[in-house]
Amino acid sequence: MDKMLVTGGLSLRGTVQTSGAKNAALPILFSTLLADGEHVFRNVPDLKDIESTAKLLESLGCETRREGDVFRVKVNKLKSIEAHYDLVRKMRASILCLGPILSKYGEAVVSMPGGCAIGTRPIDLHLEGMKALGAEITLKEGYVHAAAKRLVGGTILFETCTVGGTENVMMAATLASGKTILENAAKEPEIVDLAEYLIKMGAKISGHGTSIITIEGVDQLRPSEHTIMADRIEAGTLLIAGAITKGEVTVEKCRPQHLEALILKMREAGFKIETEKTAMTVFKASAWDAVDITTAPHPLFPTDLQAQFMALMSVANGTSVISETIFENRFMHVNELIRLGADITPKTRVAVVRGKPDGLTAAPVMATDLRASASLVLAGLVAKGETMVNRIYHLDRGYENLEAKLSSLGAKIRRSE
Ligand code: EPZ
């Protein structure tokens, strides 16, 4: 089923629950490589990227099992320390197995992940971090070969704020000897969730969630259990779905405090949004104003919600300037939104969106990456007629049953061949 058919013009109403966070589950699943035994997780979302991660862990000698809401990872002594290209190329985040394997086994061979639709996605900062902990790094035939008798703590200053780099080096540092200080560390909530699990395994970490993270190395970690945090990007996407359809939607099982930048911008656009500790509601607005956004590291506006917010701005009153500062090619959804009638002028890292309330009309469009596909579904919810979103498999990487969730709110949306 490669297409999604979305009928525009229906206002969404009701309550919907967020699933577990893909971008917390991925590093946490890779962190299990740091400790032999059985790790037990809850709220692991059922996504293609989780399947890819499970396959990679199994290729290393681990066992994974999903039983209802419980996801178990049994880590035995690895049968391999090599993460193969055919698995890594399917999911770039596989590079997050480098730190754990290197730190636990003293050697790791991991395929370079390569780029993706939204950018070249380099890993130089990951490798600089491993070198700063004493690792020998060589690149051979598309693979990273990393070796270190035992990693030694050190101070690492990330020249760019990197979520994956912070996660990879933080995991590696847990079993290094001595203290590691990460400066200019990323502050995303997913990093805090990972650190919380590492601490449950016996790691000594402080400062997670701030730009300076300190890790005191220990000799051994042990498996534990954890409930994955709610997916803030899915929660934001569902909130925008309620807003863009002039509906009233409550998103539960989420943490509004993780979405302050989005909520601030939606309120600035004129939406009434009420928040509680684990839920948020957007109320019906018959019209809203265009506002400017600039994506940046947490707690500023998340790049993973830029495409979805652009769909909302394409039917706003006025002109919105959207600046994408994180990835060099994250406007792949622009041409597809234009096919639906949006008036957008894309420049290098800035897109000027001239809002056209009720200005979108259904057309066949093509999903190019995970968040672009969400943006096109959102636009389809308001475009007159039935929008066909092709290559919808991109959506399945990061959204669990999105069409079921939107249908439960009154959307007319279904998959087709
Ligand atoms: C994580 O990717 C997320 N993925 C991305 O979500 C998210 O968009 C991104 O963080 C930014 O928030 C996961 O967590 C699995 P970065 P990551 O390292 O870690 C540059 C989604 O849609 N950089 O923070 O790969 C890089 O090119 C995905 O769920 C280097 O230059 O992102 C980018 O410009 C998409 N060298 C910037 O840093 C490096 O070694 C931020 O990238 C690493 C990164």
**Overall average pLDDT of the 197-212 stretch:** 98
Rounded distance from Cα 4 to ligand 1 centre (Å): 27
Q: What is the mean pLDDT of the chain?
A: 96
Rounded distance from Cα 318 to ligand 1 centre (Å): 31
Ligand 1 nearest atom to the CA of residue 303, by list position: 8
Substitution candidate for ligand 1 out of 23, 167, 237, 309 with most atoms within 8 A of CB: 23
Query: Is the CB of 158 inside a 6 Å radius of any atom of ligand 1?
Result: no
Residue 77: pLDDT over 90 = no
**Overall average pLDDT of the 331-348 stretch:** 97
Residue 405 banded pLDDT, cuts 50, 70, 90: very high
Rounded distance from Cα 42 to ligand 1 centre (Å): 25
Residues designated catalytic? 116
Provide the pLDDT for residue 290.
98
Atom 22, ligand 1: residue with shortest CA distance: 304
Substitution candidate for ligand 1 out of 118, 123, 160 with most atoms within 8 A of CB: 160
Atom 6, ligand 1: residue with shortest CA distance: 304
**Overall average pLDDT of the 320-341 stretch:** 97
Residue 117 banded pLDDT, cuts 50, 70, 90: confident
Provide the pLDDT for residue 121.
80
Report the C-alpha dihedral over residues 67, 73, 76, 77, rounded to 10 degrees.
Answer: 160
Query: Is the CB of 303 inside a 6 Å radius of any atom of ligand 1?
Result: yes
Residue 224 banded pLDDT, cuts 50, 70, 90: very high
Q: Which helix (H) or strand (E) holds 155?
A: strand 155-157
Tokens of 70: 């419980």
Residue 349 banded pLDDT, cuts 50, 70, 90: very high
Substitution candidate for ligand 1 out of 163, 182, 233, 327 with most atoms within 8 A of CB: 163
Rounded distance from Cα 372 to ligand 1 centre (Å): 16
Atom 25, ligand 1: residue with shortest CA distance: 164
3 state DSSP class of 231: coil
**Overall average pLDDT of the 239-260 stretch:** 98
Query: Is the CB of 115 inside a 6 Å radius of any atom of ligand 1?
Result: no
Residue 115 banded pLDDT, cuts 50, 70, 90: confident
Atom 26, ligand 1: residue with shortest CA distance: 121
Provide the pLDDT for residue 363.
97
Rounded distance from Cα 76 to ligand 1 centre (Å): 30
Provide the pLDDT for residue 116.
78
Q: What is the pLDDT of residues 277-314, one digit of tens each?
A: 999 999 999 999 999 999 999 999 999 999 999 999 99
Tokens of 76: 């035995």
**Overall average pLDDT of the 64-70 stretch:** 95
Provide the pLDDT for residue 118.
82
Q: Locate tokens 């234009």: which residue?
A: 338
Provide the pLDDT for residue 114.
76
The per-residue b/e assignment along 29-64, b for 16 or more CB within 10 angstroms, e otherwise, is bbbbbbbbebbebebbbebbbbbbbbebbebbebeb
Query: Is the CB of 359 inside a 6 Å radius of any atom of ligand 1?
Result: no
Provide the pLDDT for residue 282.
98
Tokens of 391: 């290559």
Which of left, alpha, beta for 23 (phi over 0: left; psi -120 to 50: alpha)? alpha
Residue 120 banded pLDDT, cuts 50, 70, 90: confident
pTM above 0.85, yes or no: yes
Rounded distance from Cα 93 to ligand 1 centre (Å): 9
DSSP 352-402: EEE--TT--B--EEE--SHHHHHHHHHHHTTSBSEEEEE-GGGGGGT-SSH
Q: What is the pLDDT of residues 133-185, one digit of tens each?
A: 999 999 999 999 999 999 999 999 999 999 999 999 999 999 999 999 999 99
Provide the pLDDT for residue 172.
98
Provide the pLDDT for residue 354.
98
